């Protein structure tokens, strides 16, 4: 019989600034299917929607913000300690 020991640790998730943020706006008018494409700023994605609406009268949009996140132990010092102890088992 194999015995296993489990430990429960607190994890946290945070935005990774180096990964940047991407804004996109999608037209929701049926049959349109156009979108802003990935934009480096919220203003650029919104400006596309305003221009698109001005030309087409389409007025419903989906806005998507994408970022990168990293999961880590709640305390970095705990993480290093736990990693070391787990590797020794
Ligand atoms: Zn549209």
Sequence spans of domains, the chain: 12-88
CA–chain centroid gap for 47, Å, is: 22
Q: How remote is the CA of residue 19 from the centroid of ligand 1, in Å?
A: 30
Tokens of 72: 């880590």
Of residues 74 and 35, the one with the higher pLDDT is 35
Q: Taking 70 as the threshold, does the pLDDT of residue 87 lie above it?
A: no
Residue 7 CB partners (closer than 8 Å, separation 6+): 82
Kindly indicate the confidence band of residue 76, based on its pLDDT and cuts at 50, 70 and 90: low
Minimal CA–CA distance to 53: which of 22, 78, 31, 29? 29
CA of 43 to the centre of ligand 1 (A): 18
Look up the pTM and report it: 0.69
Distance 23 CA to ligand 1 centre (A): 17
Classify the C-alpha dihedral 41-14-66-50 as positive or negative: negative
Per-residue pLDDT at 38: 97
**Do 56 and 32 contact (CB within 8 A), yes or no?**
yes
Position 59 scores a pLDDT of 97
φ/ψ of 43, rounded to 5, equals -60, -40
pLDDT tens digits, one per residue of 1-55: 888 888 888 999 999 999 899 999 999 999 999 999 999 999 999 999 999 999 9
């Amino acid at each position: 019989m194999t015995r296993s020991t489990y430990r429960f640790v607190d994890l946290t998730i945070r935005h990774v600034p180096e990964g940047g943020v991407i804004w996109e706006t999608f037209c929701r008018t049926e049959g349109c299917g156009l979108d802003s494409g990935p934009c480096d700023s919220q203003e650029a994605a919104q400006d596309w929607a305003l221009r698109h609406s001005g030309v087409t009268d389409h007025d419903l949009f989906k806005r998507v913000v994408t970022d990168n996140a990293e999961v880590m132990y709640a305390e970095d010092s705990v993480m290093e300690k736990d990693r070391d102890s787990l590797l020794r088992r």
